[in-house]
Structure 1
Amino acid sequence: MRFLLQSVAVSFALVATLSVPARAQRIGADGAKQTFGFVSEQYFDDVYFKFNPTSGTSVGFHQYDAQLEDYSAANIAKETAALHQYQAKLEAIPADGLDAPVAADREVLLNSIKSQLLSLETIRMWQKNPDNYSSGVTSSIFTLMERPYAPVNTRLRAAIAREKLIPQVFAEARKNLQNPPRIYTEIALEQIDGSISFFEHDVPLAFASATDAAAKAELMKTNAAVVDAMKSYAAWMKADLLPRSNGSFAFGADTYRKKLQYDEMVDTPLDKLLAVNEANTKANQAEFARIAKELDPKKTPTEVLAELATIHPAPDKLLDAFRYSFNAEIAFIQTHHIITLPSDARPILQETPPFMRATTSASIDPSGPFETGSKAAYFNVTLPEKGWTPEHIAEHMAEFNVGTVVSTSIHETFPGHYVQFLWQDQFPSKVRKLVGANTNVEGWAHYTEQMMLDEGFVTPGAEERTRKLVRLGQIQDALLRNARFTVAIKMHTEGWTTEQAEHYFVTEGYQSPSVGKMETKRGTADATYLYYTLGKLEILKLRADVKAKQGARFNLQDFHDTFMRQGPVPIRIVRQAMLHDNSPVL
């Protein structure tokens, strides 16, 4: 699930120079709350969305629809300067002059700015990752197409305006990209054919119903120019960039620790994090072995896993399997009082857009918190591609076995990401609507996979053997996240190779080789994708601590509802609100 300032690719747009004092004066406590409200509004309106107009479209601020990120080095310097200025402004507001929730918002926003500066100044994906450019511009057009928030003619004119600016993006990419990691260039080349196809086929089709003939004719020209620019970029990457892509993707321990601190407010030493995850991995593997033995004492866990991989819907029935799962999950949530469902609306189930298929098998794409024209959410599922070999199809469908279909549906929809999206109107502030921590967002979704089965959820009519297979699928998904945890830290701080990471996903994460390869690719850039297990463990500890404090008064639905109301902030802040202390998150 995408949350604005944490998981959207870094992008840049021209913004007027801000008149901010070089040294901000510290503000007295009396005016701190009003000053924070003013500064945070000013930051979103005058800085963030002007540098990130695609994000503006995504959250529902459509005054940015005709703008595109400016990827020039000069503009990156302007963005960096503006972020430093707002960091100084926020630091000048005394936290002790704010009510606890507002003080927490200040800390969230300040850390978000620090994270963006870390990305621009230290991690520097704008110099390292060629896919940021090709997938970035593809996403900028997709946000105008995916939901009918405005009449098609209006969205068409915005698409034309953005497309006119896209060729310059690739010109800036050629200037900016210096020594990318080879794997980044390989991923960009792997994905760019899907982006080219998107502009050749999907974009014209999306605006086929438009009645503005002149605009449709102009789109044909701008779209053709984008396709030409993208093909030229692909050829340049293959002939020029790939041979000189010798950089390292590893963040290094210091940068890694800072990113965890800024994004997730986690300052636990990396060796302790690895130890916590190792213990959870062993526990999950032991539980997998126990259930596998119950299923067939003559088979090893590996052999049971191989059998599980073959029990899945036919590819053309996969979307139907998810629809069926929705019904069962909603009924269980309501009858067992798991969490309040703020709406009866369901997500729209569809095939994953082409440009996203190389690195994701399933995802949810909700409407933004300030969107008024269309509130639909889309649940994307990656189906096998035409031309795949039978072996490739079998490996891909193993990801959607009888157990992982259930856990994936729970994770992405009920009561996972989609339900958290349904709560967003109740998030207590603009900051919490726009800034999210992945340990909360992905941690919540991963937590619900286990929680639902622990509470007794079963697919209606399932036999005991099928129920055990479903639990094995949930554990297999948990082991995938455990493997991400270890691989992320090891690759980025301890020198693990991609070959070591792929092997670990297969042997310790119980994944197929093709999944291991895809997950490793993702981890080279999504360096902190340990946030699934990390967040789940933080939530489980929070629940145990709240239950210990409340005793007989503890109610699971009340706990989940209270958790949701805090918004998708780091778990440390949720703990402070629910327990009124600063006890450890792990």
Structure 2
Amino acid sequence: MTRPWSRDPVFYVAPLLEIAFTELPADGDTLEKLVQDLRAIPASLDDARKNLTEVASDYADLAIRSLTLSDGVENGYPYRETPPDGIIGWFDDLYARAEAQPGLRDDITAALDAIRDFHDWLVDNRDRMNGKNGVGKEALDWWVQNALLLPYTSEQMAILAERELERMWGFYALERHRNRDLPEIEISASRGDYQQRISDTDKLVKGWLRGDDIISIPEYIPEDWRVMGYNVPWIVRATPPNFWEQVQFRDPAPDHLHAVIPGHRFDAMVSGRNPNPIRSSVNFGARWQGWAVYLEEAGLQGGVLEDRPRTRELIYVFGLWRAARALGDIYNQWNEMTAAETAEYWMEVTPMLDPDVARKYAYLRPAPGHGLEYTIGNIQMWRLLAERKRQLGEKFVLQDFHDEFMSKGRIPIALIRYELTGYDRDVRKFWTRPSLSEVLAD
């Protein structure tokens, strides 16, 4: 359905970054793999020219930009005081570091020449690369229902996401009014200040989880926040901090709930120890991201931020950004918005959102539906919480609900809903849908 080998130059370009990130000097298996990868680049890019016969215009622009410009976010990249200019810049960086291992320089040079030639080929042929970025409404519906196992059509999800965007904006307005006489949170002044805020937040969140009986914390979960890790590294940029840094450097709490505990890192550790091989291995995006987004507002509503009123505003900023992403993802896959138009729309409706982060997420299209899984999975979580409370009445215990949910692994929430409640309306639909070939034929 997506055919990245023929539609998306980034399919060939993106893997090159990991090669350039290799630390030098290298030895053993790392060195052997690096040499193999470098020598494979020219042939791989030659094949790319032959295969790329229906390139989507957005993908072409992203590939050209990725090769020569930093994405401005560098999430997960090795730290450089001045970020290299795109993939070509990172290979220049690799060549410079090969001073410690000169035997690699010929292979790096050959790879660099091939990458530059591929960039020139993309630029020269850009005018004929005018395919549609999205898969269309019918194919998107099939994908989200049969591959992502979500119980909604894309049209239903657009309505849900728009309602969520309005709700988050409304709460954001009320919270800003409530806090109008309070000082704004200042961005961390230094790495030490930032890390102290993370440490304080970790203590706050864990104290809330245990003290308010929110979820069980197994003994194998590290107590040291530095062992658990965190998402946003301390970076001093020539440009203002990006969206994630604007939030995280003010207060790490929103992303700590989402990405550390009891969000992604906690989730991965608990799910990874599930004795069932399927529950411990699979990871459906709406379950993974839906749980993490749910925790942001659940933490706010559950009282962990009672003494951090301005941080509650940041929770709502996170929430409205996820809802806007869902709408942008859907409109883009319907071919009603280009990636550039999607990024522009997001900046109109999301406080603090910068062009670099907006552009990065607008072009996140290796698989349709990634942008919508955050908000739609979150909506599924709130529905499940409500249903389980109604079902059990006064016997409902929040910690038991969260523990039981976690015990099911990262399978689709529709299946977890069936296991927890016995409600089978969602899962019944999975057996009555047409094949993809029927949809594409129509």
* Shorter-chain TM-score range: 0.7 to 0.9
- Given the alignment of the two structures, is residue 196 of structure 1 paired with residue 91 of structure 2, yes or no? no
Equivalent of residue 176 in structure 2, options 271, 292, 317? 292
The Cα shift of 1:278 comes to: 2.2
Distance 1:569 1:535 in 2: 12
Equivalent of residue 484 in structure 1, options 312, 319, 325? 325
Which residue matches 1:39?
Answer: none
Which residue matches 2:39?
Answer: 164
The Cα shift of 1:175 comes to: 1.4
Which residue matches 1:456?
Answer: 303
Equivalent of residue 60 in structure 2, options 153, 177, 185? 185
**Kept in 1: contact 2:5–2:51 (CA 8 A):** yes
- Given the alignment of the two structures, is residue 283 of structure 1 paired with residue 283 of structure 2, yes or no? no
Distance 1:180 1:418 in 2: 36
**Kept in 1: contact 2:9–2:60 (CA 8 A):** yes
Which residue matches 1:213?
Answer: none
CA RMSD of aligned residues (A): 3.4
Distance 1:167 1:515 in 2: 30
Which residue matches 1:426?
Answer: 273
Equivalent of residue 381 in structure 1, options 225, 232, 235? 232
Distance 1:253 1:384 in 2: 40
AA matched with 2:47: E
AA matched with 2:163: A
Which residue matches 2:122?
Answer: 237
Which residue matches 2:81?
Answer: none
AA matched with 2:232: V
- Given the alignment of the two structures, is residue 408 of structure 1 paired with residue 255 of structure 2, yes or no? yes
Distance 2:246 2:148 in 1: 32
Distance 1:284 1:507 in 2: 15
Q: Percent identity?
A: 21
- Given the alignment of the two structures, is residue 334 of structure 1 paired with residue 210 of structure 2, yes or no? yes
The Cα shift of 1:483 comes to: 0.3
AA matched with 1:237: L
Distance 1:445 1:318 in 2: 26
**Kept in 1: contact 2:329–2:368 (CA 8 A):** yes
The Cα shift of 1:577 comes to: 1.7
**Kept in 1: contact 2:56–2:132 (CA 8 A):** yes
**TM-score between both structures, scaled by the size of structure 1:** 0.61
SS of the residue aligned with 2:363?
A: helix
- Given the alignment of the two structures, is residue 555 of structure 1 paired with residue 397 of structure 2, yes or no? yes
Which residue matches 2:82?
Answer: none
SS of the residue aligned with 1:421?
A: helix
The Cα shift of 1:526 comes to: 5.3
Distance 1:565 1:509 in 2: 35
The Cα shift of 1:128 comes to: 1.8
The Cα shift of 1:134 comes to: 1.7
SS of the residue aligned with 1:123?
A: coil
AA matched with 1:277: A
Change (3 A) 1:145 1:578: farther
**Kept in 2: contact 1:503–1:516 (CA 8 A):** no
Which residue matches 1:128?
Answer: 7
Which residue matches 2:440?
Answer: none
Distance 2:96 2:406 in 1: 40
The Cα shift of 1:172 comes to: 1.3
SS of the residue aligned with 1:381?
A: coil
**Kept in 1: contact 2:188–2:194 (CA 8 A):** no
SS of the residue aligned with 2:15?
A: helix
Between stretches 251-260 and 240-249, larger displacement belongs to: 240-249
**Kept in 2: contact 1:428–1:566 (CA 8 A):** no
AA matched with 1:137: L
**Kept in 2: contact 1:182–1:246 (CA 8 A):** yes
Residues 315-343 of structure 1 deviation map (CA, whole Å, 9 limit, x = unaligned):
75685244543343233323333323342
Which residue matches 1:357?
Answer: none
**Kept in 2: contact 1:402–1:469 (CA 8 A):** no
* 5+ long unaligned stretches in structure 2: 68-84, 428-442
**Kept in 2: contact 1:417–1:445 (CA 8 A):** yes
Which residue matches 2:74?
Answer: none
Distance 1:576 1:479 in 2: 29
Which residue matches 2:422?
Answer: 580
AA matched with 1:563: F
The Cα shift of 1:194 comes to: 3.3
Between stretches 448-457 and 520-529, larger displacement belongs to: 520-529
AA matched with 1:184: Y
Distance 1:318 1:530 in 2: 34
Which residue matches 1:398?
Answer: 246
**TM-score between both structures, scaled by the size of structure 2:** 0.80
Which residue matches 1:155?
Answer: 30
**Kept in 2: contact 1:277–1:486 (CA 8 A):** yes
Residues 207-253 of structure 1 deviation map (CA, whole Å, 9 limit, x = unaligned):
97xxxxxxx56544433433333233233323x24333322102100
Q: How does 1:14-33 map to 2 (within 5 A)?
A: none
Change (3 A) 1:275 1:532: same
Change (3 A) 1:409 1:200: farther
The Cα shift of 1:515 comes to: 5.7
* 5+ long unaligned stretches in structure 1: 1-121, 209-215, 298-303, 350-375
Which residue matches 2:75?
Answer: none
Between stretches 315-324 and 248-257, larger displacement belongs to: 315-324
**Kept in 2: contact 1:249–1:525 (CA 8 A):** no
- Given the alignment of the two structures, is residue 311 of structure 1 paired with residue 186 of structure 2, yes or no? yes
The Cα shift of 1:261 comes to: 1.5
Change (3 A) 1:171 1:515: closer
Change (3 A) 1:124 1:419: same
Equivalent of residue 337 in structure 2, options 496, 518, 530? 496
Equivalent of residue 284 in structure 2, options 437, 442, 463? 437
The Cα shift of 1:139 comes to: 3.4
SS of the residue aligned with 2:350?
A: coil
**Kept in 2: contact 1:437–1:570 (CA 8 A):** yes
AA matched with 1:189: I
Change (3 A) 1:331 1:288: same
SS of the residue aligned with 1:530?
A: helix
Q: How does 1:340-359 map to 2 (within 5 A)?
A: 340-342=216-218, 343-345=220-222
The Cα shift of 1:520 comes to: 5.4
Residues 260-317 of structure 1 deviation map (CA, whole Å, 9 limit, x = unaligned):
01332124233222222222222222211111111228xxxxxx9xx96x73224756
Change (3 A) 1:401 1:263: farther
**Kept in 2: contact 1:156–1:207 (CA 8 A):** no
Change (3 A) 1:337 1:498: same
Distance 2:351 2:387 in 1: 31
Question: Quick one: higher RCO (CA 8 Å, sep 6+), 1 or 2?
Answer: 2
